[in-house]
Structure 1
Amino acid sequence: MLLGQVAGKVWATKKAPHLTGQTFLTVAVGKDLLVCADCVGAGEGETVLVATGSAARVAAGDHVPVDAAIIGIIDP
Structure 2
Amino acid sequence: MKNNIRFIRKEMKISQEELAHKCDVTRQTVNAIENNKYDPTLALAFKLSISLNTKVDNLFIFGGEEE
Shorter chain as denominator, the TM-score bin is under 0.3
Question: Under a length normalisation based on structure 1, what TM-score does the superposition of the two structures give?
Answer: 0.25
Greater fraction strand = 1
* Highest RCO, 1 vs 2 (Cα 8 Å, sep ≥ 6): 2
Structure that is richer in helix per residue: 2
